[in-house]
Structure 1
Amino acid sequence: MRKNNFGKMRNMHIASTILLLSSSLQLAAQKSEIVYREKNDSTQNYYMALLPDSTSKGLLLIIGGFCASPAVVINETTLPVTACKAGYTVIIPALYNCDSINSNAIAQKRLIEIIPELIKKYNIPANKFIIGGQSMGGHQALFYAEQAFKLNDKNIIKPDLVFGVDPPLNMKRLWNSFIHSVQLNFSDVAVAEATEQLRRFKILYGGSPSQNPKKYEAFSSYFADAKDGGNAKYLKNVPVRLYCDPDISWIIEKRRGSAEFMNMSDLSGCISQLKILGNNNAEFINCLGKGFKPDGTRHPHFFSMLDADEFVLWANKMFYKK
């Protein structure tokens, strides 16, 4: 039944794409295009581009949360339109099919392929590349950045700014959070998500963190048990922002959770580690009380917590500071 629910989610996202993008973009009066990289597949490996009226100031690549289409991203945050109006070329990709078990590996491969194409196609100026995302998309963005700096391969474009909006970074901690939700059995939504993701983790990582600890460390963008935070150490020389709405009261009331099971624990730990390593441009952005669903319902995990105008000011400052 849960597999069917994920399939329905995918179909709903695809079906809503044209309607949501059409209304949003007409309202914003932005030039845009949707580019399908595979002729016979409109469900994955495509992107939406928002194009500035003038010469591009830089590339902003935004990855949505798990199974989120470009339409969903635009509906949850004003960042794409705001950044485009400010002169940035904005790309929102749909990197994988929702049914894909190894979505992160697929996402990484396609990011490596697509980013040089985008820089060439849209005449992006050198050293003006921002990558980030929300939830699992934020983890994928950070992981891409870490691998780019780690491998130091000229064919993998290094980002100049990196951000995440409440992403889970530590896959061991995330596993423990899912186990806690299932055992607690308080929120139907949390139990359904946790059960599905535990199924995926068992396939991806060959079992639990205790059974295969090295895999969990290798595929985490921050690992608290590892020296220097594991993969996070590769971000020590790049500006990083991690946004979080640390509303513990909401978590207690709606999920009966605690701070140790929140993404907040990964985000605060990662930023502290980067500062220890000397990154003075690593920031934890406290967005307490600012997360809401598009319908106005309070939820501390949504993209809306990010202040788009302030984000653009930060990007401009980082790129053009004297």
Structure 2
Amino acid sequence: MLKNTLIIFLLCLLISSLVKSQEIKTIKGDHFELKLAPQQKAILILFPCYPCNIEHTQTEAKFLKDIEKKGISTLLLDYNQKLYLTEAKKKEYTEELHTIFTENNIKKENIFIGGFSSGGNVAILLSSYLIKTENSIQPKGILVVDSPIDLEELYKGAKSDVQKNKDAEAVAEGKFLIDLLEKEIGTPQKDIEKYKIFSPYLISSNSTDHIKYLKNSKVRLYCEPDLEWQLKNKKRQYKDLNAYKLEKAYHSLLDMGSQNVEFIKTKNRGIRANGQKHPHSWNIVERESLIQWILQPS
């Protein structure tokens, strides 16, 4: 009888241990939320859009649901309101990542860094810095979702939106961007070298100072150039869109010899969590394709 009781007790301990080993561990910090996969095969680090936060990313990026069960840990960051990064910010974010990785015993393997809108700019610039400085944190892949990677073109587009006066939201955003860029960088006419330094990519001079470091990494550039929607709602043509700039950067990476860069133009996926149709959306990232891309051996 005692022997049977002991066996049952040991089996209960074993089952309890197995259940715990399959649990997703969530850790929250001042500027991050980390979800550790039970058996980590990769880690996905994501930056939010300019006015956004972790909660926004969780709500809008539907591909994140239960992605940890596929072996992909997620690190969602709260660092926002950045169209570019200074050298000081690159160092600060790098140190923060090291702290998170060290304190939570995260493997520095199969690291993917991405972002939506301005968060994609941050992802490119930080990834380039990590690769350039041969940091111990090395991105295997970079995920860019409809990002305004050319700040000169962003400035020109803001001016155009204000002048066209087609959409109140676009006009307000345009005025905000003009004021922000002029205060922080200047105007492209007078300060083009600063735009070259801070932009992930610059079409006017085919500046590849940042993206050249990504040529040996896996890169996905997502966009949904819904021209019918853009013309009707914003009075924009293809050249006005983030998609056009991303396509230019894609071809520049190909010209540099990149074998793992993808330019992904989606259709009818731009639906936000509230049901609103909008091509500038986290939802253009397709879940199963993303998981396969992250987990496939390179």
TM-score band, normalised by shorter chain: 0.7 to 0.9
Following the alignment from structure 1 to structure 2, what is the Cα–Cα distance between the partners of residues 135 and 107?
A: 18
Following the alignment from structure 2 to structure 1, what is the Cα–Cα distance between the partners of residues 135 and 84?
A: 24
Following the alignment from structure 2 to structure 1, what is the Cα–Cα distance between the partners of residues 27 and 108?
A: 23
Shift of 1:30: 4.9
Following the alignment from structure 1 to structure 2, what is the Cα–Cα distance between the partners of residues 289 and 116?
A: 38
Shift of 1:237: 1.1
One-letter code aligned to 2:149 = L
One-letter code aligned to 2:228 = S
Once the two structures are superposed, residues 140-185 of structure 1 have per-residue CA deviations (whole angstroms, 9 ceiling, x without a partner) of 10111122223x2436x22111011101100001111101001111
One-letter code aligned to 1:289 = N
Q: 2:33 corresponds to which residue?
A: 48
Shift of 1:121: 2.9
One-letter code aligned to 2:122 = Q
Following the alignment from structure 1 to structure 2, what is the Cα–Cα distance between the partners of residues 107 and 86?
A: 32
Q: 2:165 corresponds to which residue?
A: 185
Matched, 1:171 2:155: no
The answer to whether the Cα contact below 8 Å between 2:272 and 2:281 also exists between their aligned partners in 1 is yes
Following the alignment from structure 1 to structure 2, what is the Cα–Cα distance between the partners of residues 85 and 32?
A: 13
Q: Secondary structure at the match of 2:269?
A: coil
Q: Which runs of 4+ in 1 moved over 6 A?
A: none
One-letter code aligned to 1:143 = L
The answer to whether the Cα contact below 8 Å between 1:223 and 1:232 also exists between their aligned partners in 2 is no
Q: Secondary structure at the match of 1:132?
A: strand
TM-score by length of 1: 0.80
The answer to whether the Cα contact below 8 Å between 1:267 and 1:284 also exists between their aligned partners in 2 is yes
Matched, 1:65 2:52: no
Once the two structures are superposed, residues 169-225 of structure 1 have per-residue CA deviations (whole angstroms, 9 ceiling, x without a partner) of 0000111110100111110001111111111101110x2101100000111111113
Q: Which has the larger radius of gyration?
A: 2
For structure 2, the residue ranges without an aligned partner over 5 or more in a row are 1-22
Q: CA RMSD in A?
A: 1.9
Matched, 1:34 2:14: no
Where in structure 2 are the equivalents of 1:1-322 lying within 5 Å? 30-36=24-30, 46-52=31-37, 54-96=38-80, 104-105=85-86, 108-150=90-132, 152-154=133-135, 157-205=137-185, 207-227=186-206, 229-317=208-296, 320-321=297-298
The answer to whether the Cα contact below 8 Å between 1:291 and 1:302 also exists between their aligned partners in 2 is yes
Once the two structures are superposed, residues 63-86 of structure 1 have per-residue CA deviations (whole angstroms, 9 ceiling, x without a partner) of 110121111101101233343221
Following the alignment from structure 2 to structure 1, what is the Cα–Cα distance between the partners of residues 104 and 271?
A: 33
- The worse-fitting range, judged by mean Cα deviation, of 287-296 and 223-232 is 223-232
Following the alignment from structure 1 to structure 2, what is the Cα–Cα distance between the partners of residues 108 and 102?
A: 13
For structure 1, the residue ranges without an aligned partner over 5 or more in a row are 1-28, 37-45
One-letter code aligned to 2:99 = E
Equivalent pairs, count: 275
One-letter code aligned to 2:266 = C
* Residues 230 and 267 of structure 1, relative CA distance in 2, 3 Å threshold: same
